[in-house]
Amino acid sequence: MGFMRTMWSTRIGWDDLPAHVRAGVERILGAPVEESIGQQGGLSPGTADRVRTTTGRRAFVKAVNAALNEASPGIHRKEAAITAALPASLPVASLIGTYDDGDWIALVLIDVEGRHPHVPWHADELNAVLDALLSLARTPLPQSLQHLPKLEQELADKFAGWTRVRSDPPGKCDHWVLANLDRLEQLAALGVKALTGDSLVHMDIRADNILMTAANEAILVDWPWASIGSGWFDALTALVNVRVFDQDHDVESLLRSHPAFAAAPESDIDGYLSGLGAYFIDIARRPAPLGLPTVRAFQQQQGDAAVGWLRQRLTARDETRPHGVAN
């Protein structure tokens, strides 16, 4: 886990919050907080604390303001609204309440007794996560979330990153990428079309957005990017995260065996990997946002994982194709 911790942003803690913010959270919990334990993980400079009140009540508190990162308060407000509307049947941490004074925004959530998955990933935990994501994909979308954006609309411009890479290649861009931009662009365009669907999509599945309970149940946390789209998107995103930490993990066998991928054709998987690689490799060369010094390096790793996997898939297919047959 040490490697993963080096990728996360430095957070403030409960004691760093202004007194009026702490008091607002304590009003939600009904008693003063007497213990707080900061949590590792995530790409936010705000708090992430497990707290316990004088009455023994436990909760998870995340709080931030614009001075830490300009975009984070808006992201927290989106997460609060979405989390409050999630079906109770889903494996999520439910929202207890929200403190919002226009500057500071704090989410108070049920404290899940769990930890992040091991990385490199363990097979039993990965299967539990895929099972949870399959359950998510099969859950009917409630009326309260019908307003969420469409996945293909959210990612259309992001999946077009190869066009920007072509016009302004990153300084250390993979030579295979530059030599195959035509093919990668075509695949990414197909990938956007493959994102349509009517499933609730978390859209940001990775190890630090999952908690594993003692019973090996996967709890999905951090919901600001939820959208409506393909039911297999989150499961494929989980496999890319597996590849970030272990490029030799046999993810292809999971594609063939786990029902989360039953509706994902080979061409859609290729398109998704190309589009995801385009997004991460394009954005990773930008300056780091305020308070998030490690995010670009992590995005580069995710881009490399997606492209590396896609390259293996295409190379294996090309080597088995009869000579003279076009790509």
In the predicted model, residues of the chain with pLDDT beneath 50 are 1-6, 325-327
Locate 165 and state its tokens: 């890479």
Task: Identify the DSSP state of 150.
Answer: B
Residue 41's pLDDT is 66
With respect to CATH, is domain 123-320 assigned 3.40.1350.10? no
Which CATH code fits 2-109?
3.30.200.20
Q: Which two tokens stand for residue 208?
A: 């630090």
pLDDT of 127: 98
Main-chain dihedrals φ then ψ at residue 50, nearest 5 degrees: -85, 125
Q: Do domains 2-109 and 123-320 have the same CATH topology?
A: no
- The reported pTM is 0.93
Domain ranges of the chain: 2-109, 123-320
Please count the helices (runs of H) and the strands (runs of E) in the chain: 12, 9
| Interatomic CA distance for residues 4 and 220, integer angstroms | 18
pLDDT given at position 43: 72
> Tens digit of pLDDT for each residue in 147-176?
999 999 999 999 999 999 999 999 889 999
